[in-house]
A and B are shown apart, each in its own frame.
Chain A
Amino acid sequence: MSPYFESYLTVGTFAALGAVLVMVMLGVASVLRPTNPTAAKRATYECGVDPVGSGWSQTYVRYYVFGLLFVIFDVEAVFIFPWAIAAEELGVFGLVAMFLFILTLLEGLAYAIKKGVLRWE
C-alpha cells in the first residue's frame, strides 16, 4: 500500500478510536446511571416555569447575511491556498492575478461595510 493511503488509513483509525471512546463512555454511563424520567423532567428548560410556545423562535436575519458573506471568503480560501503553495512557480503573473482577486474581495467587503450590512442594531 502506498504511504499516501497509509496516512489516510491512520486518520480513519483515529476517527474510529474517537467514536469508540464516546460510545464506550456513553454506553458505560447508560448501564450505571439511574433512569426514571417524569413528565416534568422531560420538559425543556425555561427559567423554571413551564415552557411557553413551541421551542422555536425567530432569529435575527443578520446571521444569514454573515453566512452569505462567509461563503465568499471560504471560496477565496479555496483559491488562495493552492496559489500560496505554488506562488514561486506561478511567478509575477500569479502574483498580479491574486492581488487583483484579493483587492476585488476587499472592495466587496468595504462595500458591505459601507452599506451597513455588518452593523448590528
Chain B
Amino acid sequence: MTWAEFWIIILRVVLTFGLLLVLTIVNVWLERKVVADMQSRIGPNRAGPYGILQTVADGLKLFFKESVTPRKVELGMYVLAPFLAVVPAFLIFMMVPWGAPFMIGDQEVALQGADLNVGLLFILAMSSMAVYAVVLAGWSSGSKYPLIGGVRATAQAISYEAAMGLAMVAVVMFSATQGDGGTLSLAEIVERQSGTWGDIIPAFEPVARFIPRWNIFPQIVAFLIFLIAIVAETNRAPFDLVEAEQELVGGFHTEYSGMRFAMFFLAEYVNIFSMSAIAATLFLGGWNGPTFEGSVPAIISGILPTVYFLLKTYAIVFLFFWIRATLPRLRYDQLMSLGWKRLIPGALGWLILSTFVIAFRQFGVPWG
C-alpha cells in the first residue's frame, strides 16, 4: 500500500464519519421540528436560527449531568451496552456509497466508507448486533422495567430482521440479472441502477426512457416490506414497544442517565439515518440521477450525486417522522402477528413470485 492509498482511506473514513455525525445532529432537530409542525406546535426555536443548535445545546447539557449507576447493575454489561449500541450503528452507514467516485490525480476516491464484497450480509450482521445493546442494557440494569423492555426487544427485532433479510434477497436476485452475475456489494448494486428502463425494455421505449432504472419499480412489494421492517428494527413508533413510555417508563434505558443515556439516543438517530440510506441505496438508485455532465461546471456535476443521495435518504427519513406522528403504538400481539403472519409469508411469497418471473426471462418456459 502506497502513502497515497493510505491517505485516501483516511480521507474516506473521516469524510463518512463526519457526514454521519453532522447529519445525525441535524436529524434530531429535524424530527422535533417536523413532528412539532404536524402537531401544530412550534418546536425548538431558541438556540440558533430556527432552533437548529438545540441538539448541540442538549448534548452539552448532558455532559454536566450526573450519571447514576444503580446498586443492582451487572457492571460489565451495563458499561458495555452503550458501546454495542453506537459502534454497529456507525458500521452500517460505512457500507453505503453516498456519492459518485471522483479522481484525485490518478487515484480514484469512492465516497463510501468501505466497499466490502459481502456488504449486504455485513449490514444484516451489524443490525443483529444492535439488538444485543438493547437486550444487554435491559438485562444488566437489574430492574423490572428495563428487563421487560429488553425481552420485548429480542422477540421484536428478530421477527422483523427475518422479514428484512428476505426482502433484501429479492433485491439481490433481481440485481443479479441486471449486470454480470450476482453481487452483494452496495456500490455494484447502485451502479446497476443507473440509466432508465428505456435501455432495458425497448418495447416501451418512449415512456420507459423517462423512468429511472431503480429497483423500486420491479420490487415494489419488497420495498414496502423492507420499509416496515426497518421502522421496527430501529424501534421507532409505532413499533417502539421496547421503550413504551406509558407502560415501561423508559424501557431498556430506564436505569441509564447522563452521557450513557445520550449514547443510546445517538445510536437510535444514527440507525434511522443509516437504515434510510440503505433503503435509498437498494431501492431508489442511491446516488444515481442526471448530472448534466459537460453542460455545467465539473464541480457541480460532481456534487449532484451526493445531493440526489441525500434527497432520497431524507425522503425516507421524513417518512419515519411522518409515521411516528400519525400512527399509534401497536399492541404486542398485533406486532407479532404482523411480523409472522403478514410480513414473513409475504416476503417469502414475493421472493417466489419474483424468482419465477426472473427465471422465466432467463431460462424460458419450462415446457418450451
Contact = CB atoms under 8 A, between A and B. Distances in A.
Interface string A22-45: 100110111011111100011111
Nearest to A39: B71
Given A42-B70, A113-B341, A28 B63 contact: yes
- Where chain B touches its partner, the secondary structure class is helix
Contacts of A49: none
Given A19-B87, A92-B359, A46 B169 contact: no
B106 interface: no
Nearest to A2: B1
A81 B175 CA distance: 13
B9 interface: yes
Contacts of A97: none
Interface string B58-80: 00001111111111100000000
A14 B94 contact: yes
Interface size class of A (residues with CB under 8 A): 35 or more
Nearest to B79: A26
Interface residues of B, number: 86
A102 B348 contact: yes
A87 B182 contact: yes
Contacts of A63: 151-152, 154-155
A118 B9 CA distance: 48
Interface string A77-97: 100110011111101100100
Contacts of A6: 1, 5, 9
Contacts of A77: 124, 162, 165-166, 169
B352 A74 contact: no
A99 interface: yes
B166 A57 contact: no
Contacts of A14: 13, 16-17, 90-91, 94, 113-114
A13 B83 contact: no
Interface of A: 1, 4, 6-11, 13-15, 17-19, 21-22, 25-26, 28-30, 32-37, 41-47, 51, 53, 55-57, 59, 62-63, 66-67, 69-70, 73-74, 77, 80-81, 84-89, 91-92, 95, 98-99, 102, 105-106, 109, 113, 118-121
